[in-house]
Structure formats: C-alpha cells, structure tokens
C-alpha cells in the first residue's frame, strides 16, 4: 500500500476521539442556540457544571488573549478538580472563576499613578 493510500485510509477511518471534533457528537458548538439546547437537556448538576466550565474556558481564553498567566494557586486548584464529586467541583469552579475575575480586575486596574 502506497503512502498516499495509507493517508486516504487514515483520513476516512474514524477514531474514538472523532466525537470531539467539529461536527461530532461532543464537538465544539458554534451556534449559541444549539449550545443552550444541549445545556438545558442535561441533568441539573451536570448543567451547572457545564456552565461553570464554560465560564472558566471563557476566562482562560481572555487570559490567553491578554497574554496573562493564570495565577499558580489557581492552577493548583484546577489540578485537584478531577478528584472532587460533581457538587464539590461546581463549588470549586465557582471559587476559581471568582478568583480569576478578581485577578482580571486587579490586572486591569494596574498600578495607580499619583501626581
């Protein structure tokens, strides 16, 4: 089998992670209405977790655009999320998101200059 044939075969072969690709069952959703529909179809605790994860992703995107690092103490908290139950994870993400918003506010205000 030639390299080109292998390439064609690999591009048509569906792997287990394809569901996370655009257009896949769990891929990114560009349409806000579709996102809301999927979110509302989730059980309450999963919906709340998804909302907090979305807020966190939005904050991370903002930090990236501003070329600002996420504070190390927040990174440590994020590393522990997988060990928590869903309700604990929701609470932790709310706290993380609040800390990130406070950090954004502190950075945006910058050092004050007195004249």
- Give the integer Cα–Cα distance in Å for 24 and 101: 32
Residue 46 located in a structural domain: yes
Confidence band, pLDDT 50/70/90 cuts, at residue 17: confident
Structural domain span for residue 83: 31-108
Residue 6 located in a structural domain: no
Residue 10 located in a structural domain: no
pLDDT digits (tens, 9 = 90+) for 31-72: 778 778 888 888 999 999 999 999 999 999 999 998 888 999
- Give the integer Cα–Cα distance in Å for 106 and 9: 52
- Give the integer Cα–Cα distance in Å for 2 and 24: 29
Residue 51 located in a structural domain: yes
Position 24 pLDDT exceeds 80 = no
Residue 7 located in a structural domain: no
- Give the integer Cα–Cα distance in Å for 31 and 33: 6
Residue 21 located in a structural domain: no
Judged by average pLDDT, the poorest of 1-5, 42-46, 49-53, 74-78 is 1-5
Domain total in the chain = 1
Residue 45 located in a structural domain: yes
- Give the integer Cα–Cα distance in Å for 53 and 63: 15
Helix axes 44-65, 86-109, angle to 10 degrees: 30
Q: What's the whole-model pTM score?
A: 0.69
Residue 4 located in a structural domain: no
């Amino acid at each position: 089998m030639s390299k080109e044939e292998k390439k064609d075969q690999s591009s048509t072969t569906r792997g287990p992670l394809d569901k996370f690709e655009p257009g896949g069952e769990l891929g990114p959703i560009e349409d806000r209405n579709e996102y809301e529909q999927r979110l509302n179809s989730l059980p309450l605790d999963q919906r709340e977790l998804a909302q907090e994860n979305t807020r966190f992703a939005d904050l991370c995107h903002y930090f990236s655009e501003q070329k600002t690092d996420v504070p190390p103490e927040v990174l440590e908290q994020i590393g522990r999320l997988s060990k928590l139950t869903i309700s604990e994870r929701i609470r932790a993400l709310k706290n993380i998101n609040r800390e990130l918003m406070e950090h954004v506010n502190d950075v945006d205000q910058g050092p004050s200059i007195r004249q």
